[in-house]
Amino acid sequence: MMKHNIKHLPVLANGKMNGMVTLRKLTDFRGNLVLEMVKEIDDADNIERLALQHKSVASFIERMLNEGATPHEICSLTTEFNDRILRRIIELSEQSMVKNEYGAPPTDYCWITMGSEGRKEQTLSTDQDNGIIYPHIDDEEQHRQADRYFAVLAEKIVSGLEQCGFPRCKGDVMATNPKWRKSLSDWKRMMNAWFSHMQGEEIRMFTIFLDFRPVYGRMELAQELRQYFLTKKKEFPFIYNLLAEDDAMSSVPLGMFGRIVYDKKVGDGIDIKGGALVHFVNTMRLLAIFEGLEAVSTIERLHQLTMHQVFTKEEEEEVLDSFNTLLYFRIRENMNQYKQSLPLSNDLHVPGLSKEEQIRLKKALNTAKWLQQKLMRQFQVRGIRI
């Protein structure tokens, strides 16, 4: 409802209106905080005010944790707030371009988010992964002028996001990088290049891209790019094996007899993202691509895959429970780090977990291992020990 600015929703019974649900009623259980935050974000007339709202989002996440909200609820609302902050930053950046005599955008464009942001799985430690798609421009000089404009605009937006607490991507997967700021035809050419030559770091960039989601502007551009991918991938069946191999290169931190194997970089724990959550994300992404599904979030992909009988209902519930367990630990750890003004990381220190939580963690890691083995069997990944 917030996403589409809907304030009232009719309740129907036998085709007749039987009542009305309001956005206020839906959010009463958390007071008026949601409505107030939405209004503050939408009314913000500068980046500084938006930065204050990002801090409010952190406080809201803590409140939801304390109230027992599910990780999916927390991620969904966090994404909704962050999307609103992003859209307001873009609007303010466009206004700044006009004031500074760059003018309005020379053509339509679409701002996309990728990675965990694209999957709507944002937590406090999420950095930026974004890009710009604009229509094909035949005239070369007009094309260059358009890209120069979007280069300046992208820097304003990325800088605004940084001021609001979203770190720049260390891998430079941002619209400020020409690689992630292209015309639709150039995006298609880059996709063809990926298909033709994909290895190492290119595979990682490809997987980040595959989770793209339009957030602002002409959404049809992103939709056309998605359809192009789903059509083109049929010509390159080897990508499934490559992506499955890439997942197998990262082992689940479980040793003999189900013992949790500590990551040397963490010391007394594991990298909950790189060692555990990544396998849920990779599996659902790869299987969704194989089935030709358009869903982007891990949970939506899981639901659709179950509907396509890739998973049984019991398997879906098991995967969902394990995924939520890992997300919960990650969100809680990030919140503790944030409150102590520590750098946000994906480190999960196992001795700090209760005995019951350690059992839940082992169960989730076993599910991750099962998913990884499923990929290896289905896409015939051989010679890699996991």
**222: exposed, middle or buried (Cβ count in 10 Å: 0-12, 13-18, 19+):** buried
Question: What are the tens digits of pLDDT across the range 15-49?
Answer: 544 444 444 444 444 556 788 888 899 999 999 99
Question: What are the tens digits of pLDDT across the range 139-190?
Answer: 999 999 999 999 999 999 999 999 998 999 999 999 999 999 999 999 999 9
Helix (H), strand (E), coil (C) string for the chain: CCCCCCCEEEEEECCEEEEEEEHHHHHHHHCCHHHHHHHHHHHCCCHHHHHHHHHHHHHHHHHHHHCCCCHHHHHHHHHHHHHHHHHHHHHHHHHHHHHCCCCCCCCCCEEEECHHHHCCCCCCCCCCCEEEEECCCCCHHHHHHHHHHHHHHHHHHHHHHHHCCCCCCCCCCCCCCHHHEEEHHHHHHHHHHHHHCCCCHHHHHHHHHHCCEEEEECHHHHHHHHHHHHHHHHHCCHHHHHHHHHHHCCCCCECHHHCECCCCCCCCEEECHHHHHHHHHHHHHHHHHHHCCCCCCHHHHHHHHHHCCCCCHHHHHHHHHHHHHHHHHHHHHHHHHHHCCCCCCCEEEHHHCCHHHHHHHHHHHHHHHHHHHHHHHHCCCCCCCC
Predicted structure pTM score: 0.88
Q: List per-residue pLDDT tens for the chain, 386 residues long.
A: 444 555 454 544 445 444 444 444 444 445 567 888 888 999 999 999 999 887 888 888 888 888 888 898 899 888 989 999 999 999 999 999 999 999 999 999 999 999 999 999 987 767 899 999 999 999 999 999 999 999 999 999 999 999 998 999 999 999 999 999 999 999 999 999 998 887 778 888 899 999 999 999 999 999 999 999 999 998 988 899 999 999 998 899 998 878 999 999 988 999 999 999 999 999 999 999 999 999 999 999 999 999 999 999 999 999 999 999 999 999 999 999 988 988 888 999 999 999 999 999 999 999 999 999 999 999 988 655 44
